[in-house]
Chains A and B, each alone.
Chain A
């Protein structure tokens, strides 16, 4: 294959036919460039989805009580199911091997006041494990703790944005804010990387809230984290077990879809990632389309090149060029151009992707756009291989044409 004399011929032909070379090179470069950029952006899209859930603990199961839709065990339908403090203890005992934290939660609707000014924020009455489940990061002071739960202290840990809006630069620690008619002492400030929603919340002990609600032991919802080592299938099994345990305890028909609902975050992440994967597949499909367009482009140009050179090839044959020599000449030229411009397009695509990889793309839900080098290389090689096949057919035809016909071609 390697023949220095032939390569000298090829380089001369390339050098003397710059437009032709540029055209065919550009087709290949563009095909591979667009493929790599599209593929990279698709990866970025997928990364965004992955990151979305990275900030939340993904080993969380939520339990929501509701209304029954079936009569069971002597109870009528439409019975309202309530979770109670004892349920927390029962769950902890029953599933002690796989459960890490259990977090009771009550949603509080009270007006927030500080120095005669009113504010509108969400208030969550929860346990200390809320910090781990929501991945709250303390900036100042402390989070609500077990002691607060036990003593039903009127304390609150507030989100970063709450602190900013209410205290406006003042140090919030030790200050009192009114939640409804009661004053709560601010003991800490937290932030959350997952976004503004969590940072716009105030956290208070759930027992304090229950006491305010005239000593009730009712819980709104439950969130619990499990040992991640049980894996995806273990998580699904656990959530099913929790569901049937609670249904049995609350005398709910096992086939009742309502009554107790259990939501598994891991399951939802899986589904969202499937969506992201589907997007990636679509984007890749479009990329492959451009790759095919590139192959068709190079085929066209090869046909054109051979047509344009028919007379030259005829002259060469008249001077004694053998058919195989003609095929080798055209193919080597096409391989050389496609390889060079293919890798040029690939490297350019990778450079563009890595230079794009900044904050601006975040607005379009694209994170860390990039392409695996192996995939880029593979796509480039595919394009080169098809470029060669595309070149072979017209080259073969040109080589078998009678020199006299080629010479007549004006």
Chain B
């Protein structure tokens, strides 16, 4: 599904340049659930942003579902993001003046799907995350866990190939973290490829594979026995 070779990325900070990713080689199989770990500054978020086409690399290649992602203009990138990728952010990033249903329906709007169809699909995904009854609530009327579930529903709404989650439990307490991770496991079990960036070992152990990043290089990459969450 994902094939990355010799990826480099530097940031220009004033006169000096900060080399964040120093040659990443990395691939993800279809249906995998990968945790990307590392301390802050290890480059894990940068890697995820490049994977999500939110940022661009300096050197290296990136293939997503056998499509080369390189030198795309904004228009094409937007199109690919919409079709191939779903995002889940630490701070949810819901649009605060839209209710849960409208937030979930937004990626479908950018696919040019009709309003009726959008609402129907969005409601299906809201139901999937257990928030059908909260469809007409604004984000400010939802708890943190509920917001993240809405965000996950939104990420799924366009039926992407890969779900990218950047510290999805970073802003949640342990109980709601478990709820969210259980949801992610459930979606993964249905066949979706998911990448989770986290710095929490507990969360990482709920994935199928852990990739450790340190100072811009992968220091460890191993499959683990997944800690499956039951009875949440």
- Interface residue ranges, A against B (CB under 8 Å): 5, 8-9, 12-13, 16-17, 311-312, 314-325, 399-400, 402-404, 407, 410
The segment from B48-56, B63-71, B209-217 found at the interface with A is B48-56
The reply to whether A320 and B97 form a contact with Cβ atoms under 8 Å apart is no
Cα(A314)–Cα(B81), bound, Å? 12
A5 to chain B, nearest CB (A): 7
The reply to whether A321 and B78 form a contact with Cβ atoms under 8 Å apart is yes
Chain A residues whose C-beta falls within 8 Å of the C-beta of B153 in the assembled complex: none
Query: Within 8 Å of chain A (Cβ to Cβ): is B83?
Result: yes
Which one of B89, B95, B102, B158 lies within 8 Å of A407 (CB-CB)?
A: B89
Chain B residues whose C-beta falls within 8 Å of the C-beta of A322 in the assembled complex: 74-75, 78-79, 110
Contact with A along B138-150 (1 / 0, CB 8 A): 0000000000000
- 20 CB contacts below 8 A, A to B, read A12-B97, A12-B102, A16-B97, A17-B97, A316-B110, A318-B54, A318-B81, A319-B107, A319-B154, A319-B158, A320-B111, A321-B78, A321-B110, A322-B74, A322-B75, A322-B110, A325-B78, A399-B74, A403-B54, A404-B55
Q: How many residues of B contact A (CB 8 A)?
A: 28
A116 to chain B, nearest CB (A): 90
- In the complex, the chain B residue whose C-beta lies closest to that of A314 is B93
Cα(A198)–Cα(B34), bound, Å? 102
Contact with A along B71-109 (1 / 0, CB 8 A): 000110011011100010101011101100010001101
- Interface residue ranges, B against A (CB under 8 Å): 49, 52, 54-55, 74-75, 78-79, 81-83, 87, 89, 91, 93-95, 97-98, 102, 106-107, 109-111, 115, 154, 158
Which one of A8, A12, A324, A407 lies within 8 Å of B54 (CB-CB)?
A: A407
7 closest A-B pairs by CB: A320-B82, A16-B97, A404-B54, A320-B110, A322-B78, A319-B107, A323-B74
- In the complex, the chain A residue whose C-beta lies closest to that of B138 is A16
Known: A320-B83, A321-B110. Is A402-B54 also a contact (CB below 8 A)? yes
Cα(A17)–Cα(B96), bound, Å? 11
Chain A residues whose C-beta falls within 8 Å of the C-beta of B49 in the assembled complex: 404
The reply to whether A319 and B55 form a contact with Cβ atoms under 8 Å apart is no
Chain B residues whose C-beta falls within 8 Å of the C-beta of A407 in the assembled complex: 54, 89, 93
The reply to whether A316 and B97 form a contact with Cβ atoms under 8 Å apart is no
The reply to whether B78 and A13 form a contact with Cβ atoms under 8 Å apart is no
- In the complex, the chain A residue whose C-beta lies closest to that of B102 is A12
A289 to chain B, nearest CB (A): 36
Task: Specify which of A8, A9, A17, A403 lies most central, judged by the most chain B CB atoms within 10 Å of its CB.
Answer: A403
B200 to chain A, nearest CB (A): 21
The reply to whether B115 and A5 form a contact with Cβ atoms under 8 Å apart is yes
Cα(A403)–Cα(B52), bound, Å? 10
Chain A residues whose C-beta falls within 8 Å of the C-beta of B106 in the assembled complex: 316, 319
Cα(A404)–Cα(B83), bound, Å? 18
A106 to chain B, nearest CB (A): 85
- In the complex, the chain B residue whose C-beta lies closest to that of A399 is B74
The reply to whether B81 and A320 form a contact with Cβ atoms under 8 Å apart is yes
The reply to whether B93 and A311 form a contact with Cβ atoms under 8 Å apart is yes
Known: A9-B109, A315-B95, A325-B110. Is A320-B78 also a contact (CB below 8 A)? yes
B214 to chain A, nearest CB (A): 22
Chain B residues whose C-beta falls within 8 Å of the C-beta of A13 in the assembled complex: 97
Cα(A96)–Cα(B83), bound, Å? 94
Chain B residues whose C-beta falls within 8 Å of the C-beta of A316 in the assembled complex: 95, 106, 110
B221 to chain A, nearest CB (A): 25
B21 to chain A, nearest CB (A): 14
A10 to chain B, nearest CB (A): 12
The reply to whether A8 and B87 form a contact with Cβ atoms under 8 Å apart is no
Chain A residues whose C-beta falls within 8 Å of the C-beta of B95 in the assembled complex: 312, 315-316
Chain A residues whose C-beta falls within 8 Å of the C-beta of B91 in the assembled complex: 410
Cα(A315)–Cα(B54), bound, Å? 11
Cα(A323)–Cα(B72), bound, Å? 13
B89 to chain A, nearest CB (A): 7
A9 to chain B, nearest CB (A): 7
A284 to chain B, nearest CB (A): 41
Cα(A404)–Cα(B93), bound, Å? 12
Task: Specify which of B89, B95, B98 lies most central, judged by the most chain A CB atoms within 10 Å of its CB.
Answer: B95
- In the complex, the chain B residue whose C-beta lies closest to that of A325 is B110
Chain A residues whose C-beta falls within 8 Å of the C-beta of B87 in the assembled complex: 318-319
The reply to whether A315 and B55 form a contact with Cβ atoms under 8 Å apart is no
A322 to chain B, nearest CB (A): 4
Which one of B52, B79, B93, B102 lies within 8 Å of A315 (CB-CB)?
A: B93
The reply to whether B115 and A320 form a contact with Cβ atoms under 8 Å apart is no
Cα(A80)–Cα(B49), bound, Å? 103
- In the complex, the chain A residue whose C-beta lies closest to that of B114 is A5
Chain B residues whose C-beta falls within 8 Å of the C-beta of A400 in the assembled complex: 74
Which one of A17, A320, A323 lies within 8 Å of B158 (CB-CB)?
A: A320
Give me 16 other A-B pairs in contact (C-beta within 8 A), A12-B98, A320-B110 excluded: A5-B109, A12-B102, A16-B97, A17-B97, A317-B81, A319-B158, A320-B78, A320-B79, A320-B81, A320-B107, A322-B78, A322-B79, A324-B75, A402-B54, A402-B55, A404-B49
Chain A residues whose C-beta falls within 8 Å of the C-beta of B158 in the assembled complex: 319-320
Known: A318-B54, A404-B49. Is A323-B78 also a contact (CB below 8 A)? yes
Chain B residues whose C-beta falls within 8 Å of the C-beta of A8 in the assembled complex: 115
Cα(A315)–Cα(B98), bound, Å? 13
A319 to chain B, nearest CB (A): 4
Cα(A407)–Cα(B52), bound, Å? 13
The reply to whether A318 and B154 form a contact with Cβ atoms under 8 Å apart is no
- In the complex, the chain A residue whose C-beta lies closest to that of B84 is A320
Chain A residues whose C-beta falls within 8 Å of the C-beta of B54 in the assembled complex: 318, 402-404, 407
B81 to chain A, nearest CB (A): 5
B3 to chain A, nearest CB (A): 22
B71 to chain A, nearest CB (A): 15
